[in-house]
Amino acid sequence: MYLSEDEQRMLDGEQGLSVRKAMELLIKVGEAYGAEKMINVSQALVSGHLFTAGKGHELQAFAKIMSEMADDAVVKVPTSALPINLSLRFAKEVGLPESTIQQEQSTLTKRTKLFQRLGVIQSYTCLPHFVYDLRKGEHVAFLETNVGMLTNSWFGAMTNLDGNSTAIASAITGKTPEYGLHLPENRFGKVLIKIGPDLEPDRFDYADYVALAHWTGRLLFDRIAVYQGLPPRMRPSHAKYMCASQIYNSAAGMFHIVGVTPEASTLEAAFGGKKPEEILVFGKKEKREAYEYFCTSTDTKVDMVIIGCPHCTVQEIGDIARLIDGRRVNKDVRLLIGASESVTSLAKRMGFVDIIEDAGGLVISDMCIRLAALPPLSEALGIRVVASTSGSVAQNAYRRSKGKTSAWFGTTKNCIDAAVKGKWGGE
């Protein structure tokens, strides 16, 4: 692989041992994928739970290396962090054991000190796109599949779906190998997805976008989809739900929406002047099948309602507040809303958080709220049935619990109604 003079100095150890090790890792990754050179990245995203990975996990191993290199490890580009595993506020509110709270406090202290030393922005969100602006065509090193897909698709910035170690390595070198979705020729669409005439996409709820992308992902394998017929004024919050759903079933790292996303001003632009390999139509039948896939419960009694995986935007929290205003969450149901700290603070200033929490809900920042529906938290809280607008929550709750926790999936209104009534009566 060709290295610039600056990159060679990194490899030679002139910028410190941690930079040298990081460059060695990036070179190995680049060689594995046939990259010819390194490129500069303008941002990076790393994991928010460095010290909670299992023994032998590659993230924990690299965190150990970073913590041992306090003197020379520092990020060279703005670097954000993904959500943490457990919020202290959440742990206290739901009555988790004091030993669990103390353990998380210790973990948080270690994480804070390490990130302060490295210079990592402690944003703790799966929407780092709203921490620093992204521009079409700029290269970044983002881990986490949903984040990477939204970066490529909605913003037109360029990233592969990096792992934890490569993302940290890019953060402290400012470099990444040029391969995959960093190359424009690998970003063109392959499959055309048309919205059927029997649907009204202008009236799609967040859950409808989940259903669409889930259905598409199961047919793509690693091909990039091009969507035609979605509303030109759709919001990034709609797109993030598409990303989280499609990536569970597909290895494709992005999609295009004609007339909406930056690299799809026209159908021809999205396909790079070529014809689609396949044309598929998503209609009422396909939408119904996707909803049914996520609904694994037969028990209408709901224990927990989760909205905010991926993290909610201010608009979503506002939608939830309007739906629950003047109502009360059922005494047997936990309503959890997940968002970043910056979004939560703004939503509180706008009065949305008080409306939700006065009704009996809980707005949690920094945490990956999905984990409340997964073992071991779901077991500790006695959660048997969860309802969500998120396919990720519904799918993972059932799979990770091996069927002990089942799920209902539906619109925001369906979920808020379930939280108030204590039972599911959705579509």
Continuous H helices in 137-200: 145-150, 164-173
Which CATH code for domain 5-178? 3.30.499
| 295-421 matches 5-178 in CATH topology | yes
Name residues whose C-beta falls within 8 Å of residue 29's C-beta, 6 or more positions apart in sequence.
35, 166, 177
DSSP state of 384: -
| Per-position pLDDT tens, the chain of length 427 | 999 999 999 999 999 888 998 999 999 999 999 999 999 999 999 987 655 445 555 555 555 655 565 467 899 999 999 998 889 999 999 989 998 899 888 888 888 888 888 899 999 999 999 888 899 999 999 988 889 999 999 999 999 998 888 998 999 999 999 999 999 999 999 999 999 999 999 999 999 999 999 999 999 999 999 999 999 999 999 999 999 889 888 999 999 999 999 999 999 999 999 999 999 999 999 999 999 999 999 999 999 999 999 999 999 999 999 999 999 999 999 999 999 999 999 999 999 999 999 999 999 999 999 999 999 999 999 999 999 999 999 999 999 999 999 999 999 999 999 999 999 985 5
Domain ranges across the chain: 5-178, 188-292, 295-421
Q: 141-166 burial string, b = 16+ CB within 10 Å, else e?
A: bbbbbbbbbbbbbbbbbbbbbbbbbb
Distance between CA 263 and CA 259 in Å, rounded? 9
Domain formed by 295-421, architecture: 2-Layer Sandwich (3.30)
Query: pTM score, two decimals?
Result: 0.92
CA dihedral 266, 269, 275, 278 (to 10 degrees): -70
